[in-house]
Amino acid sequence: MSNVLGARTPAAEIVRIAHAKGVPVLLDGCQAVVHGRVDVQALGVDFYAFTGHKLYGPTGIG
């Protein structure tokens, strides 16, 4: 998800293409994680990362 326009990247399609070539996928969810549920199993990502402060975590956790 773009933090400027709100556009959503077709992540599932990108993951499918990457996996077809044997490439593991790390999806940066920093912009999307606070805007709704993310089904990482449905997306098929190998890793999903975001910073704790986006979820109102304590200062200093990233």
CA distance 1 to 31: 6
Q: Is it the case that residue 53 has pLDDT exceeding 80?
A: no
3 state DSSP class of 53 = helix
Q: Is it the case that residue 1 has pLDDT exceeding 70?
A: no
Higher pLDDT, 10 or 56: 10
Find how far residue 16's CA is from the centre of its chain. 15
pLDDT in tens, 10-51: 999 999 999 999 999 999 888 777 777 889 899 999 999 988
What single letter denotes the amino acid at residue 22?
G
How much is the pLDDT for 27? 93
pTM of the model: 0.71
Q: Check if the beta carbon of residue 62 is closer than 8 Å to that of residue 53.
A: yes
